[in-house]
Each structure stands twice: as structure tokens, then as C-alpha cells.
């Protein structure tokens, strides 16, 4: 609906200056190999599906528990926290939006990396929060020194997106200590594919908020569940924001399915290990083809070819019904982000890439 | 989590001054007759449940359609609109929140009734929108003249909550014409229980936004689906706000269930007629017991007894395991809002009320 619209006199000043986030495309014209939205190639746990099917019943006439107690208890036990240290919401994007309202103020610029999740500047615009970009180092690692400047709050992903590169917990600790009076949000959407969660730092750092999602490692992108972990005062701030927007953000079916996902640990471990193994195989093959591959601990890789522009590879792959993500932005406009699919999907992808390279560099 | 908390230094200025909405209680200590949150006593359509169960499958690993096209097409066809005139979201509360951001501005006070849905001032506080209260007339009807004052936007429910009293379409039209430069939001959460929707006014009034929900008349409070209808420019503003907060607010299962609800028209008509019939029987009995009953076209009634304080009746009913809603607010602190349950539930309620009256007025 965007783009061609004339500004309406009925729009608020906020809406007039928005540049909304554009999610990766979900085309329906034909069947693609979808390596563009970091979805998990494997389905959710069969136990999750079973519990959800059982929850689809006549009780849907009743509101869900607005406090989401059972799910919060389940997540807190999984991570060795208390229920009061856990908040749940409609995907990690909603939690990020709530966090911008809960912890950041107009007039106090926040900091985030220059190359990062492109939703952060969108939240900032919506809630009138100024920001300063902290340039990644040359190797795309996060600059710890860059976060030592005066600020009104900090947010970064670990691993970072779209690079896939991780940050050591010692570095995160340093950022937390340097900014004891501001909230530091670590966006761990992709942490389960090889990173080390900062959850162990929560009890020592009341300014740390961690945000995770069930969309990636738990194969539940279609269910819309994310969660936040941190000091109970931070969780209460999120709760106050939620209760000023929508008392019930998670439906009964989502609450039940999300909880069951934390109960089926064996399935979770199996899926994430399979994705990691496929990633490592894919990385090796990409390097053989001459690609620069940023070291990834996510379920995607960030790649660049020294001879062929990323946009060309993107377009050629699309013609072969393979979708990857291209960002036309400074510093990364010669890179592609490729989600890790199944072994079969990645084999198709690798063969298609090989054909593109051969065609254009012969 | 609220109430006893000390303000944290990490809270934003916005959060510090919030007074969040408090939904009706959902106690779990024992089984109550729940007449306090306007839930439907009848389950959702069996066809809705079947479709949802079928949708709980391996495709949950994939994101939902962010544009929610199928559901928007379904709703638009049901109401004789185009897809571009329909927006969907996570319950009508989320749509109301998005609307405050999309159409109202700080510095331009909006108008809503003094007695109305108590979430409106909460949204206003969250987004820094000033407001002026327009007093209801003595008989609790909405004052059309009150909405002729200069304003930055208008919102009211039809029927109003917690009174249940309806507003004629001619009155709504008058308000729309008087305020052609502002957005007028008609919150039709309870419209299906006897009111006449303003949907027929949409094509002549580009400033009209209607918000409805599937939580009440379609028995899907546990699913979290609401929708908005209006000129395509208003819908685009909502879309811009949504895409600046959360690209996917409705999960795959909710999208499928909501769509099916609009397909099973016979079931919908049957359920709403049953609720209306029970309401009329209940009203007659309440009047026999001496209650003042505000004329209701909602799935709840607003009642007051000339001899016994509402708070006393509320407390006594609670002891009898019957929950109704009491609002400790000016003008309505001697009223109770009672949701219409099944015939059996209302029989229990009526007997309990009779006992309370007898005990205290003998």
C-alpha cells in the first residue's frame, strides 16, 4: 500500500514522516526456494503442533491470561530466572517497539551500529528517539569503544544482522559497565545458532535487557512469539507499555505452543545443530567458489564475490526461483544475506550460484 | 506487577507517568460465573475450530502474510467494501492504539465521552495526546452538540461502553459532517448485538474510521483479532504505523480462523440472536426487581438499584462466585456492568441478585 500514496490531511505528523520497515518478500506467484527471511527449514516440534491442535477448542471464546503466567514461568525455568524477569509478546519486533517506548527518551540520542537490523531506525522515527550510528569495525565486528560515548541507551544484535557476526560476552560486559545508567538491549534473535546468550549477565547487570524470538531456532515464525529477559524493573516497564496498548498480545493457541516448545529440548537441539551443520558445509563451498564469507553464528550467511556485483547475483538467482536478501545500503551494497535452508535447498542454491559465477566470469 | 513498584531510573519519561488499563480479572483460584469481561457464552463456530486445527501444521515455520490479504478480502466482501478499505490487527485494542498514533497529534486535544471505554485516556497518555471529555447527557446518551467544539479528532463507541447505549446513524452523520477535517473513530466492538453499523457511511465520509472485533459477537476473545474499516488513506496510515512496530501482528492460525468466522454466517446470526434474547429476558427480570437498567444494544447491561449500593451488590455476588464489573468512577459508581451469559448463567445471576436484595432490604 506504500509508495504511491498521496499524503492525506488526516494523517498525524508522526505518520507523515514514517519510513516503515519492509520485510523480506513473501511472493505467491510461484514456488521459490526462500532463503530471504531467515525462516527455519525444519518444522516446529510435533509436540508443539499437537498441543496447539488440542488448544484450538471452545475455550477460544474466553480471553487469554493477560499476564501470560504459564509461558513466563516456562521460559524463566528454562533460563534459570524468575517469572518476574521474563516478558512475552507478539514476536521480538513488538518487544523491540515496546522497549523503545519503555527505555529511551526524545532528546537523548541512543546508539546502535551503522550496519544492523534495519527496524531500529524505524522505531526511532516512530517514537521520536534520536540516534547516532556506531560504525562497525572494518571486519564488521562491533566496536566496543564506539559504545563508550555519552548516550540515552544502546541496542545491538548478537549475532549482528545482517552480518551474522557474534560479539563476545566479555565485550558485552564492558559495554554494560560503561553504561550503567542506561538500558543496553541485546537483541538475540539468532543466538541459538552458535552464540552465547548474555542471560548469564542479567543478575549482575540491572541495565541489561535481552530479547529473543521463537521465529528462528524454534521454527515458529508463523506463530508470532518473542520474549524479553532482564531485571524485574525493566520487565515491569515493558508490562506497563503493553497494558497501555493491548492487554492481550498473545492468543491462547500461541501461548500453549510456545510453552511446549521449551519442553521439547531434544527436538530444539536437533534442529539447531542441523542448521549449524548445513551452514558450515555451505560456508566451505562458498569459499571454494571465491566468495568472501563473514564468519556467521546465525542461521544466515553474509557473502560477497570479488568479481561479480551482489545485485547481479541476486537478480540472477531470482530468475532461477531462488530468493535471497539484498540491502542497497552503504558498506553492504555488495553483499547478500542468505538464509540457511535444508541441505537440499542449499545444494540447489550452490549449484545456481556456481552457474551464475561461471556465466559472468568466463 | 503494578502498584507496589518503585520507579526505576531506567524507565523512560513516558513509562513513569503511565496509568495502564486494567482488564477485568481472570481469577484462577476457583470456578466463577464470569460476567465481567463481556465474553460470549457460546463457543466459536465449529467450522472456525476445524479450519484452525487444520492450519496448525508444519507451515508454522514460515512467516504469515504480512499484508493479511485473504482476511482483508474476506471482511471487505462481507461488508461491501474493497480490500484497501480494511485493516486487521491483534484485537481492536491494538487498532485503537495504532489509530491514536496515526490520526491524533500532541497539542490538538481530541474529544471523547466522559463515560466511555477506559482505555482511551490510557492511549492518550502513552502517546502524549491531550483530550477533553464530552459529558454524556443525563440519560447517558452521547451529546452530539458536545462534539461540535474545536478538536483534533473524535472517538466514541457505538454502542457506548460501559452503558450499552446506542447512537443513531443520523447523529453519527451529524458528527462526521461537523468535523470534516478530523478523523472520527467509531468503536463498534459491540455493534452486532443490536446496533446499526456506520459502515454504510464510509464511502461518503473519508474521515470515518470504524473499529470492530471478533472477540465478542464471534466468540473469539482468545484469538486476538480486530479490524478497522474506512477510506483507503486512513487504512494506509494504520498500515504505516503497523509496519513501524511489527510487520506480522496476526499469526497463521488466527488469520485462518478469523476468515472462516465470516464464512459461517448462519452460526454468527444464531449466536448473536441468542445473546440478544437472553439480554431482553434478563432486562425484564432486573426491572421486576426494581433495578434501573440503561437500554442496552450490547452483550452487557448497565444496572443500578435505588436501595442497595452497586459496590455492595458487586461484593456479595463475588462471594457467591459470580463476577461482574464495578467501576469506581464519577457518575457511574453506583452502577454495575453485567455481561450477558448463557440462559443458565443468567438464571444463577438473577437468583443470586434476588437473594442479595432480599437480605439487605428486608
Task: Copy the grid coordinates of residue A231.
Answer: 531485571
Alpha-carbon distance A219 to nearest alpha carbon in chain B (angstroms): 4
Structural domain includes residue B66: yes
Within the 318-347 window of chain A, which residues sit less than 8 Å (CB to CB) from chain B? Answer: none
- CA separation for the pair A234, B7 (Å, rounded): 10
Q: Which residues of A touch B34 (CB under 8 A)?
A: 62
Q: Which residues of A touch B63 (CB under 8 A)?
A: 23, 26, 37, 39, 215, 221-222
**Which one of B17, B246, B250, B271 makes the best mutation probe of the A interface by having the most chain A beta carbons within 10 Å?**
B246
Within 10 angstroms of residue A57's Cβ, the number of other Cβ atoms is: 16
CA A20, distance to chain mean position in Å, is 17
- Contact A105/B at CB under 8 A: yes
Structural domain includes residue A225: yes
Within the 225-254 window of chain B, which residues sit less than 8 Å (CB to CB) from chain A? Answer: 231-237, 239-254
Alpha-carbon distance B359 to nearest alpha carbon in chain A (angstroms): 33
- CA separation for the pair B249, B309 (Å, rounded): 43
* Mean pLDDT, rounded, for A314-341: 96
Task: Copy the grid coordinates of residue B332.
Answer: 457511574
Can you give the CATH number for the domain in which A277 is found?
3.90.1150.10
Alpha-carbon distance B225 to nearest alpha carbon in chain A (angstroms): 9
- Contact B224/A at CB under 8 A: yes
Alpha-carbon distance A15 to nearest alpha carbon in chain B (angstroms): 6
Domain final residue, candidates A263, A282, A312? A263
**Which one of A63, A220, A341 makes the best mutation probe of the B interface by having the most chain B beta carbons within 10 Å?**
A63
Q: Any alpha helices (H) in chain B, and if so which ranges?
A: 13-16, 46-55, 69-79, 91-103, 120-126, 169-178, 232-242, 252-263, 265-288, 310-319, 343-361
B59 and B37 in a single domain? The answer is no
Alpha-carbon distance B163 to nearest alpha carbon in chain A (angstroms): 21
3-state secondary structure of B331: coil
- Contact B292/A at CB under 8 A: no
- Contact A66/B at CB under 8 A: yes
Please report the pLDDT score of residue B2 as a whole number.
Answer: 43
Within the 184-213 window of chain B, which residues sit less than 8 Å (CB to CB) from chain A? Answer: 206-207
β-strand pairing of A226-230 with A86-89: antiparallel
Q: Which residues constitute the domain of residue B126? A: 46-265
Number of independent structural domains in chain A:
2
Helix (H), strand (E) at residue B322: strand B322-323
Helix (H), strand (E) at residue B73: helix B69-79
- CA separation for the pair B296, A198 (Å, rounded): 54
Contacts made by residues B359-362, CB under 8 angstroms, sequence distance 24+: B359/B316, B360/B307, B360/B308, B360/B312, B360/B316, B361/B307, B361/B308
- CA separation for the pair B66, B249 (Å, rounded): 8
Structural domain includes residue B224: yes
Buried b (16+ CB within 10 A) or exposed e, B328-337: eeeebebbbb
A171 and A284 in a single domain? The answer is no
Structural domain includes residue B7: no
Q: CA of A18: which chain B residue's CA is closest?
A: B240
**Partners of B133 in the beta sheet?**
B112
B187 and B250 in a single domain? The answer is yes
**Distance between first and last Cα of chain A:** 42
Q: Which residues of A touch B101 (CB under 8 A)?
A: 12, 14-15, 126
Structural domain includes residue B111: yes
Q: Which residues of B touch A41 (CB under 8 A)?
A: 61
- Contact B223/A at CB under 8 A: yes
Please report the pLDDT score of residue A1 as a whole number.
Answer: 41
3-state secondary structure of A88: strand
β-strand pairing of B300-304 with B336-339: antiparallel
Residue A336 has pLDDT above 70, yes or no: yes
B203 and B340 in a single domain? The answer is no
Q: Per the CB < 8 Å rule, is B90 touching A249? A: yes
Q: Which residues of B touch A10 (CB under 8 A)?
A: 103, 182-183, 206-207, 231, 233-234, 237
Can you give the CATH number for the domain in which A143 is found?
3.40.640.10
Q: Per the CB < 8 Å rule, is A61 touching B49? A: no
Q: CA of B96: which chain A residue's CA is closest?
A: A245
- CA separation for the pair A81, A77 (Å, rounded): 6
For chain B, the 3-state helix, strand and coil shares in percent, each to the nearest 5, are 40, 15, 45
Please report the pLDDT score of residue A157 as a whole number.
Answer: 98
Q: Per the CB < 8 Å rule, is B241 touching A126? A: yes
- CA separation for the pair B204, A12 (Å, rounded): 21
- Contact B103/A at CB under 8 A: yes
Structural domain includes residue B1: no
The pLDDT tens digits for A241-289 are: 999 999 999 999 999 999 999 999 999 999 999 999 999 999 999 999 9
> Which of these, A261, A89, A29, A194, lies nearest to B60 by C-alpha position?
A261
Q: Per the CB < 8 Å rule, is A247 touching B49? A: no
Structural domain includes residue B2: no
- CA separation for the pair B259, B255 (Å, rounded): 6
Please, what is the angle between helix B265-288 and helix B252-263, to 10°? 80
Q: Is B265 exposed, middle or buried (0-12, 13-18, 19+ CB in 10 A)?
A: exposed
B168 and B247 in a single domain? The answer is yes
* String of DSSP letters for B265-297: HHHHHHHHHHHHHHHHHHHHHHHHTT-EE----
A116 and A252 in a single domain? The answer is yes
Q: How confident is the model at residue A21 (pLDDT cuts 50, 70, 90)?
A: confident
Residue A14 has pLDDT above 50, yes or no: yes
Helix (H), strand (E) at residue B235: helix B232-242
Helix (H), strand (E) at residue A357: helix A343-361
Within the 31-60 window of chain B, which residues sit less than 8 Å (CB to CB) from chain A? Answer: 34, 37, 39-44, 48-49, 52-53, 56-60
Q: Which residues of A touch B222 (CB under 8 A)?
A: 59-64, 251-253
**Partners of A112 in the beta sheet?**
A133
CA B32, distance to chain mean position in Å, is 22
Q: Which residues of B touch A249 (CB under 8 A)?
A: 90, 94, 224
Q: Which residues of A touch B102 (CB under 8 A)?
A: 11-12, 14-15
> Which of these, A330, A324, A328, A327, lies nearest to A356 by C-alpha position?
A324
Residue A31 has pLDDT above 90, yes or no: no
- CA separation for the pair B207, B324 (Å, rounded): 36
A143 and A222 in a single domain? The answer is yes
Q: CA of A124: which chain B residue's CA is closest?
A: B244
Q: How confident is the model at residue A4 (pLDDT cuts 50, 70, 90)?
A: very low
Structural domain includes residue A5: no
Q: How confident is the model at residue A6 (pLDDT cuts 50, 70, 90)?
A: low
Q: Are A33 and A339 in contact (CB under 8 A)?
A: no
B107 and B153 in a single domain? The answer is yes
A344 and A321 in a single domain? The answer is yes
Q: Which residues of A touch B10 (CB under 8 A)?
A: 103, 182-183, 206-207, 231, 233-234, 237
* Mean pLDDT, rounded, for A168-186: 98
A235 and A106 in a single domain? The answer is yes
Q: Which residues contact B314 (CB under 8 A, 6 or more apart)?
A: B324, B326, B336
Q: Are A96 and A119 in contact (CB under 8 A)?
A: yes
Domain final residue, candidates A263, A284, A312? A263
- CA separation for the pair A302, A250 (Å, rounded): 33
pLDDT in tens, chain B (362 residues): 444 456 899 999 999 989 888 877 777 777 899 999 999 999 999 999 999 999 999 999 999 999 999 999 999 999 999 999 999 999 999 999 999 999 999 999 999 999 999 999 999 999 999 999 999 999 999 999 999 999 999 999 999 999 999 999 999 999 999 999 999 999 999 999 999 999 999 999 999 999 999 999 999 999 999 999 999 999 999 999 999 999 999 999 999 999 999 999 999 999 999 999 999 999 999 999 999 999 999 999 999 999 999 999 999 999 999 999 999 999 999 999 999 999 999 999 999 999 999 998 87
B104 and B245 in a single domain? The answer is yes
Within the 261-290 window of chain A, which residues sit less than 8 Å (CB to CB) from chain B? Answer: none
Q: CA neighbours within 13 Å on the CB side: how many for A193?
A: 37
For chain A, the 3-state helix, strand and coil shares in percent, each to the nearest 5, are 40, 15, 45
- CA separation for the pair A189, A157 (Å, rounded): 7
* String of DSSP letters for A96-151: HHHHHHHH--TTS-EEEESSS-TTHHHHHHHTT--EEEEPPPTTS---TGGGGS--
Q: Per the CB < 8 Å rule, is A93 touching B244? A: no
Please report the pLDDT score of residue B6 as a whole number.
Answer: 63
* ipTM for the whole complex: 0.95
What are the two backbone dihedrals, phi and then psi, of residue A34, each rounded to the nearest 5 degrees?
-90, 100
- CA separation for the pair B338, A81 (Å, rounded): 40
A84 and A191 in a single domain? The answer is yes
Residue A2 has pLDDT above 60, yes or no: no
Q: Per the CB < 8 Å rule, is A105 touching B239? A: no
Q: Any alpha helices (H) in A190-298, and if so which ranges?
A: 232-242, 252-263, 265-288
* String of DSSP letters for B241-259: HHTTT-S--S-HHHHHHHH
Q: Which residues of B touch A231 (CB under 8 A)?
A: 10
Q: Are A82 and A76 in contact (CB under 8 A)?
A: yes
CA A103, distance to chain mean position in Å, is 19
Domain final residue, candidates A241, A263, A285? A263
Task: Copy the grid coordinates of residue B159.
Answer: 454502542
Amino acid at each position: 500500500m506504500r509508495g504511491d500514496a498521496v499524503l492525506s490531511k488526516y494523517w498525524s505528523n508522526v505518520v507523515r514522516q514514517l519510513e516503515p520497515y519492509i520485510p523480506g518478500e513473501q511472493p505467491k506467484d510461484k514456488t521459490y526456494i526462500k532463503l530471504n527471511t531467515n525462516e527455519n527449514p525444519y518444522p516446529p516440534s510435533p509436540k508443539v503442533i499437537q498441543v496447539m491442535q488440542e488448544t484450538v477448542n471452545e475455550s477460544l471464546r474466553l480471553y487469554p491470561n493477560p499476564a501470560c503466567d504459564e509461558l513466563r514461568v516456562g521460559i524463566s525455568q528454562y533460563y534459570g530466572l524468575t517469572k518476574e524477569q521474563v516478558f512475552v509478546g507478539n514476536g521480538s519486533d513488538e518487544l523491540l517497539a515496546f522497549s523503545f517506548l519503555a527505555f529511551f527518551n526524545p532528546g537523548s540520542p541512543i546508539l546502535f551500529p551503522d550496519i544492523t537490523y534495519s527496524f531500529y531506525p524505524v522505531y526511532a522515527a516512530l517514537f521520536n528517539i534520536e540516534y547516532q550510528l556506531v560504525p562497525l569495525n572494518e571486519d564488521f565486528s562491533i566496536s566496543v569503544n564506539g559504545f563508550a560515548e555519552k548516550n540515552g541507551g544502546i541496542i545491538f544484535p548478537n549475532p549482528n544482522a545482517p552480518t551474522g557476526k557474534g560479539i563476545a560476552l566479555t565485550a558485552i560486559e564492558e559495554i554494560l559497565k560503561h553504561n550503567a545508567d542506561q538500558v543496553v538491549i541485546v537483541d538475540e534473535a539468532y543466538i541459538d545458532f552458535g552464540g552465547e546468550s548474555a542471560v548469564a549477565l542479567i543478575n549482575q547487570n540491572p541495565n541489561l535487557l535481552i530479547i529473543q524470538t521463537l521465529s528462528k531456532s524454534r521454527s515458529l515464525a508463523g506463530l508470532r512469539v518473542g520474549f524479553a529477559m532482564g531485571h524485574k524493573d525493566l520487565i515491569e516497564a515493558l508490562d506497563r507499555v503493553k497494558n497501555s496498548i493491548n492487554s492481550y498480545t498473545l492468543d491462547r493457541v500461541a501461548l500453549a505452543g510456545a510453552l511446549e516448545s521449551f519442553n521439547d529440548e531434544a527436538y530444539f537441539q536437533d534442529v539447531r545443530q542441523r542448521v549449524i551443520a548445513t551452514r558450515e558445509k555451505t560456508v566451505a563451498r562458498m569459499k571454494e567458489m571465491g566468495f568472501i564469507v563473514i564468519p556467521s553464528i546465525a542461521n544466515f550467511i553474509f557473502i560477497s564475490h570479488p568479481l561479480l556485483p551482489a545485485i547481479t547475483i541476486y537478480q540472477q538467482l531470482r530468475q532461477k526461483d531462488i530468493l535471497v536478501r539484498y540491502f542497497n545500503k552503504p558498506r553492504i551494497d555488495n553483499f547478500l544475506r542468505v538464509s540457511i535452508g535444508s541441505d537440499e535447498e542449499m545444494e540447489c542454491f550452490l549449484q545456481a550460484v556456481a552457474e551464475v559465477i561461471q556465466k559472468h566470469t568466463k
